[in-house]
Amino acid sequence: MDKAFEPRIIAFCCNWCAYAGADMAGVSRLKMPPTFRIIRVMCTGRVDPLFIIHAFVQGADGVIVAGCHPGDCHYISGNLKAKQRINFLKGLLKQTGLDKRLEMYYVSAGEAYRFQEVIEEFTERIRKLGPNPLKKLPPPKKEGNKREVLHTELLWIFKGLGITEIQPWQPSEEEIIPGFGTPVYDPDKCVGCGACYNNCPENVIMLEDVDGKRKIRHYYWSCITCRTCEEICPQDAIKVEEGFDLTAFLQQTVHDDIELPLVKCRICGKFFAPEPMVKEAKEKEIPLELLDVCPDCRKELIGKELVELLGHRGL
Ligand code: FES
């Protein structure tokens, strides 16, 4: 054990219980190691998993989340949600060893001695573990949306610790937290209209027209389960399944969902729309001359017809 090592611990404390407990410990002049920095949050339910990952990336030796006892949360179940997130993160970080540097505690406003005990116990644990090995590395750039930042930082942690082979990890039903999932397509219903791709706020879905085929794919387990695709799909062809797979998430595995043949424009010969979509439109009795022409040629045709019509009327 390095005697000179003084851990730097980040403690996310809920305003109503743990923070008040810490305050009381201070007012009561209880002796505590000066190793922790408190970040006050209104409820532990506010602690996003990304806050914790970010603390480790920035070199924290340990992270505590401290909140109200079960049943006492001022927002009913924020502490239970936080506990679920901590369990999820612990599982996810197991291979990195950072899971031992993370803990959740329940401390009420009147438990000044408990707060002191928690800090002493956790500081001792971190002292034994030594400094966060990621400390020496320059942190990665924070770019993109929250999910992208989580992906970048997690990948950086694994690489930084020299882990080349990521062990598969999937949370159990109790461990899984809301906000991770994957869209599942019904190939019998999907007509390839692209509404899911056009409306996905996280750019999880990809759409490509190549070699006369429309391909729809998505990044596995990068979905935030907002269910926009599910709601927007006119064919009711998508269901979002909750779940998470660490390897697929870190490797940004692409899942092939749909591949549909495209029809050619009868005028310019360009591929422009998936066959099932055109077939469906035909069934809706949309005039055939509008269905086998691409949007560019269609505009031209309509323009010509308009000019003709106006000419007939001497305009
Ligand atoms: Fe304290 Fe929710 S208010 S944990």
Would the CB of 67 count as within 6 Å of ligand 1? Answer: yes
Would the CB of 21 count as within 6 Å of ligand 1? Answer: no
**Ligand 1 mean position, distance from CA 27 (Å):** 21
**Ligand 1 mean position, distance from CA 19 (Å):** 10
**Ligand 1 mean position, distance from CA 40 (Å):** 11
Q: Give residue-wise pLDDT tens across range 248-258.
A: 999 999 999 99
Find the farthest-apart pair of alpha carbons in the chain and give their distance in angstroms, rounded.
98
- Written out in words, the top-level CATH class of the domain with range 181-306 is alpha beta
Cβ atoms within 10 Å, residue 128:
10
Would the CB of 14 count as within 6 Å of ligand 1? Answer: yes
Q: What is the DSSP letter of 2?
A: -
The dihedral sign for the CA sequence 256, 164, 101, 5: negative
Res 34: pLDDT: 93
Cα of first residue to Cα of last residue in the chain, in angstroms, is: 94
Would the CB of 20 count as within 6 Å of ligand 1? Answer: no
Q: Which residues make up the CATH 3.40.50 domain(s) of the chain?
A: 9-137
Q: Give residue-wise pLDDT tens across range 9-50.
A: 999 999 999 999 999 999 999 999 999 999 999 999 999 999
Pocket perturbation via mutation, ligand 1, pick of 16, 23, 115 by most ligand atoms within 8 A of CB: 16
In angstroms, the CA 117 to CA 135 distance is: 27
**For each of the chain's 315 residues, which pLDDT tens digit applies?**
556 799 999 999 999 999 999 999 999 999 999 999 999 999 999 999 999 999 999 999 999 999 999 999 999 999 999 999 999 999 999 999 999 999 999 999 999 999 999 999 999 999 999 999 999 999 999 888 899 999 999 999 999 999 999 999 999 888 899 999 999 999 999 999 999 999 999 899 999 999 999 999 999 889 999 999 999 999 999 999 999 999 999 999 999 999 999 999 989 999 999 999 988 888 877 776 677 888 889 888 888 888 887 877 666
Contact by Cβ (8 Å): 149, 155 = no
**Ligand 1 mean position, distance from CA 41 (Å):** 9
Contact by Cβ (8 Å): 190, 229 = no
Would the CB of 44 count as within 6 Å of ligand 1? Answer: yes
Contact by Cβ (8 Å): 41, 12 = yes
Res 170: pLDDT: 94
> Whole-prediction pTM value?
0.85
**Ligand 1: nearest atom to the Cα of 45:** 2
Q: Which residues make up the CATH 3.30.70.20 domain(s) of the chain?
A: 181-306
Res 315: pLDDT: 64
**Ligand 1 mean position, distance from CA 31 (Å):** 25
Res 229: pLDDT: 97
User: Quick one: how far is CA 112 from the chain centroid?
Assistant: 36
Res 291: pLDDT: 78
Amino acid identity at 307: V
Res 53: pLDDT: 97
Structure-block tokens of residue 16: 């109503």
Res 92: pLDDT: 96
**Ligand 1 mean position, distance from CA 78 (Å):** 6
**Ligand 1 mean position, distance from CA 153 (Å):** 27
Please give the backbone phi and psi of residue 64, each rounded to the nearest 5 degrees, phi first. Answer: -115, 140
DSSP run (H or E) holding 184: strand 181-185
Q: Does domain 9-137 have CATH number 3.40.50?
A: yes
